[in-house]
Copies of this chain bind each other. A is one copy, B any other.
Amino acid sequence: MRWEDLSRENCSLARTLAVIGDRWTLLVLREAFLKVRRFEDFQANLGIARQVLTERLAHLVEEGVLAKTPYQDRPPRFEYRLTEKGLGLYPAILALVHWGDDHYAGRKGPPLLHRHKNCGHDFRSVLTCSACGETVEARAVETHPGPGAARRKGAGG
């Protein structure tokens, strides 16, 4: 299976991974969430090969996750900003970060803390149910085929 094939799978995870499922793309998005916007800054912060960065940014722009807009005309220079669609990835990224905090932070603790401006406290992401508002555990979830389901038995999620 190739990257392009992934997006044709009848599975929302596969389709998501077709867009953001390589390590560089997620690190690019990390930088974007930390307000990095310019090619040179992404490149310097990540140490990513320039060619790969060019390609990843173009892909994210094509998918509408980032928007490329000029910030000066002569010479033409661009910046890459998260779109609403891109901002929608925040819960996923935060969950990944917090999992890393739980299992791979050194003894000193996590390198970065997140503060909820509304309440002013450092917080951890909590997965809750949109229906009842309670915290959701993995074991408390069962899946069933949705309207877009294909033949295949369990998968497709």
Contacts and interface: CB of A to CB of B under 8 A. Distances in A.
A148 B111 contact: yes
Given A16-B100, A116-B132, A116-B136, A6 B23 contact: yes
Given A136-B116, A143-B34, A143-B115, A97 B27 contact: no
Of A99, A125, A142, which is in contact with the most chain B CB atoms at under 10 Å from its CB?
A: A99
Number of copies: 2
B103 A85 contact: yes
A145 B112 contact: yes
Interface string A93-125: 111111111111110111111111111011111
Contacts of A112: 11-12, 143-146, 149, 155-157
Contacts of A47: 1
Interface of A is mostly: mixed
B17 A26 contact: yes
A143 B12 CA distance: 29
A129 B127 CA distance: 9
A88 B94 contact: no
A39 B133 CA distance: 37
Nearest to A17: B23
A147 interface: yes
Contacts of A100: 11-16
A16 B96 contact: yes
Contacts of A127: 90-91, 94-95, 125-128
Given A34-B155, A121-B132, A130-B125, A150 B111 contact: yes
